[in-house]
C-alpha cells in the first residue's frame, strides 16, 4: 500500500515538518508505506543528501527467506555504502567512490539517513566538525560534534562548514555494534566517500581518515551523543509534552527462541531464533490489521496487548531462568482512545545473555523522549529525573543495552500504527506490535475511508517477479556485460 501524507491526514503518517523528512519505505505486516514531509520554505545553505546503507553479495531476498525458514540468524552485509558506493577500501568501488566537491568558506546543509536496516552507524568526516540541527524532521538545539551515531531509518540534518585547508577528506560510516551474541557477527567494513575542496592544490595520495570516529563497540561515545539531543523549546518552536497521563505502559524487549522438533532448526541449540515485546512474538496476520479493524473483521487480531509484562524479574541480570526465553506467539494489538496521553517505558533485557541496543520506531507519530537510563526502570525514582522541559521529539528512539527509555505522546492521529524494532532481523523475528487509535467522534477526527483509486494490496501483474528472480550483483553484471 502507498499512502501520501500531509496536514490533517487522518489515518496517515504525520509529524513535524520543521526540518524536512524525505520519503521513506517501511516494511510492515500489511504492506509498504511511503512517508514524506515537506520542509518549511526558509533560506537555506547549499544542500547535500547522504544515504548510508548496506550491500550484500548474492540474492539477499533468497538469503533472508532461507534463514527465516531454518530459524538461523540473518545474513550479515558484505559492506556498507554511502550513496550507493562502498568506497576506497573495497575493490569493487575504488573507481566510483562517491565524491562531494565543496567550496572553502561555505556552509552546507547535509541530510543523512541510515538506510542500513540492521545496524546503527557512526558517521564522521576527517578534520571537520558537524552541527546537528534536526532529527526525524524536527529541530533540535544545535550540537557541535566530530561524529554522529544514527539508527536505522533515522534522519538527521547537519551543518558542515568547509573551513579546513584545501584538500581531500574521507567521510566514513561504520557500524556501531552492541550485539556480541555468539551467533551474530557484524560487518566491520568502513564505507567511505571523499569530501573534495575546489581550487588549485596538489591532491594527496590518500585522503585524510577521520581519527575521531569511535570504535565499533564504543558505547560511551554513542550514549553521550544521544544524551545531548534536546528540542528547541523556543517561542517559535515550543514543546507540548503530555502531562496528564491516562495510559502507562512498560514493554520489555527480548531476544528469544522457539523450540523446534528434534532440535532441527539452525538457531540456538537447534531452535528457531525469535524476538518479542513483553514476551509476545508478533505473528503476521493473513489479512492486514488496518482492513480488519476498518471492516470490523474478527479472527485477525486480538485487542489485548498488555500494559505490563506478564511477569517481572531482574530484566538485566546475567543469568536469567529458562522460562524467560520462550515467548508466546500471536497478533495482539494495543487499543487507545482518541486524545489519550500515553507514556511508554521500553525496558531492555538480557534474556539469552544477549543484551543489546534496540532502535524502536513508531509509525504515525512523533513522540517525546523524556528519560533513559541503565539497569531496570524504577517507577518511583526515575520519573523524578524526567526531562519535561526540552525533550527531543522524534519517531525513533534507541533503547540502550541493559537499559530503558521512556517516551510520551498524545494519541491524536486515529488509525492503525505499527511499532517495531528498526533492526530488520528483529522485526522479522517478532519484535513488533500494532497500536490502534480509535476515532475521535467527528469526521475530522476519524480515519478516512479507503480512496476509490486505492489498488489491492498485491503487486500488479507488471510488477510480479518470476520465481527464479535473482537480484544479486553477479547476475546484474553478467547481464550488463552482454
Give 339's DSSP letter: T
| Residue of 13, 6, 8, 5 lying closest to 435 (CA atoms) | 13
CB-CB contact of 267 with 71 (8 Å): yes
**How many CB atoms are located within 10 Å of the residue 132 CB?**
21
Q: Is the pTM of this model over 0.85?
A: no
What sign has the CA pseudo-torsion 300, 347, 152, 133? positive
**How many CB atoms are located within 10 Å of the residue 117 CB?**
19
One fold for both 45-226 and 247-445? yes
Please name the CATH architecture into which domain 45-226 falls: Sandwich (2.60)
**What average pLDDT does the structure give for the chain?**
84
What does the pLDDT look like over 330-370, one tens digit per residue? 999 999 999 999 999 999 999 988 889 999 999 999 999 99
Contacts of 468 (CB under 8 A, 6+ apart): none
Q: Among 34-43, 141-150, 432-441, 460-469, which is the least confidently predicted range?
A: 34-43
d(CA 46, CA 108): 5
Give 201's DSSP letter: -
Mean pLDDT of 35-39: 32
What does the pLDDT look like over 408-463, one tens digit per residue? 999 999 999 999 999 988 999 999 999 999 999 999 999 998 888 877 766 555 54
pLDDT higher than 90, residue 171 = yes
Q: Where are the domains of the chain?
A: 45-226, 247-445
CB-CB contact of 188 with 175 (8 Å): yes
Alpha-carbon distance values, 292 to 287, 297, 341, 364 (Å): 7, 5, 25, 18
d(CA 59, CA 471): 5
Per-residue buried b or exposed e for 299-324, using 16+ beta carbons within 10 Å of the residue's own CB: ebbeeebeeebeeeeebbeeebeeeb
CATH 2.60.40.420 fits 247-445, yes or no: yes
Amino acid at each position: 500500500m502507498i499512502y501520501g501524507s500531509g496536514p490533517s491526514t487522518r489515518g496517515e503518517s504525520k509529524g513535524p515538518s520543521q526540518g524536512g523528512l524525505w520519503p521513506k519505505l517501511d516494511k510492515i505486516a500489511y504492506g509498504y508505506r511511503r512517508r514524506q514531509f515537506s520542509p518549511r520554505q526558509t533560506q537555506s545553505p547549499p544542500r547535500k543528501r547522504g544515504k548510508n546503507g548496506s550491500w550484500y553479495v548474492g540474492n539477499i531476498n533468497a538469503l533472508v527467506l532461507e534463514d527465516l525458514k531454518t530459524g538461523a540468524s540473518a545474513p550479515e552485509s558484505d559492506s556498507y555504502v554511502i550513496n550507493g558506493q562502498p568506497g576506497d577500501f573495497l575493490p569493487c568501488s575504488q573507481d566510483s567512490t562517491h565524491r562531494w566537491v565543496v567550496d572553502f568558506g561555505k556552509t552546507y546543509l547535509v541530510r543523512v539517513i541510515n538506510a542500513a536496516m540492521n545496524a546503527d552507524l557512526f558517521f564522521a568526516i576527517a578534520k571537520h566538525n558537524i552541527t546537528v540541527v534536526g532529527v526525524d524532521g524536527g529541530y533540535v538545539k544545535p550540537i557541535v560534534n566530530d561524529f554522529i551515531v544514527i539508527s536505522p531509518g533515522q534522519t538527521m540534518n547537519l551543518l558542515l562548514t568547509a573551513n579546513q585547508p584545501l584538500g581531500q577528506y574521507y567521510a566514513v560510516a561504520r557500524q556501531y555494534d552492541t550485539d556480541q551474541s555468539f551467533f551474530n557477527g557484524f560487518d566491520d567494513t568502513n564505507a567511505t566517500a571523499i569530501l573534495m575542496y575546489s581550487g588549485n592544490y596538489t591532491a594527496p595520495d590518500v585522503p585524510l581518515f577521520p581519527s575521531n570516529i569511535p570504535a565499533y563497540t564504543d558505547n560511551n561515545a554513542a550514549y553521550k551523543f544521544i544524551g545531548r539531543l534536546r528540542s528547541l523549546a523556543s517561542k517559535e518552536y515550543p514543546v507540548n509534552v503530555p502531562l496528564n497521563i491516562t495510559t502507562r505502559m512498560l514493554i520489555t524487549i527480548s531476544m528469544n527462541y522457539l523450540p523446534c522438533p528434534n532440535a532441527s532448526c539452525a538457531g540456538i541449540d537447534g531452535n528457531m531464533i525469535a524476538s518479542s515485546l513483553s514476551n509476545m512474538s508478533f505473528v503476521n496476520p493473513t489479512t492486514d490489521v488496518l482492513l480488519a479493524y476498518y471492516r470490523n473483521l474478527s479472527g485477525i487480531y486480538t485487542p489485548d496487548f498488555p500494559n505490563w509484562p506478564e511477569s517481572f524479574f531482574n530484566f538485566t541480570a546475567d543469568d536469567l531462568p529458562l522460562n524467560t526465553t520462550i515467548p508466546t506467539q500471536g497478533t495482539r494489538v494495543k487499543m487507545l482512545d482518541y486524545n489519550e496521553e500515553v507514556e511508554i517505558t521500553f525496558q531492555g533485557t538480557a534474556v539469552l545473555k544477549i543484551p543489546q541496543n534496540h532502535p524502536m520506531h513508531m509509525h504515525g507519530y512523533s513522540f517525546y523522549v523524556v528519560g533513559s537510563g541503565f539497569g531496570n526502570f524504577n517507577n518511583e525514582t526515575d520519573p523524578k529525573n524526567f526531562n519535561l522541559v526540552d525533550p527531543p521529539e522524534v519517531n525513533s528512539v534507541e533503547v540502550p543495552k541493559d537499559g530503558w527509555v521512556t517516551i510520551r505522546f498524545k494519541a491524536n492521529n486515529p488509525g492503525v500504527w505499527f511499532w517495531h524494532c528498526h533492526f530488520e532481523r528483529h522485526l522479522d523475528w517478532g519484535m513488533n506490535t500494532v497500536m490502534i487509535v480509535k476515532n475521535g467522534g467527528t469526521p475530522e477526527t476519524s480515519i478516512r475511508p479507503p480512496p476509490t483509486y486505492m489498488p489491492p494490496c498485491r503487486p500488479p501483474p507488471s510488477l510480479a517477479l518470476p520465481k527464479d528472480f535473482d537480484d544479486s550483483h553477479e547476475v546484474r553484471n553478467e547481464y550488463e556485460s552482454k
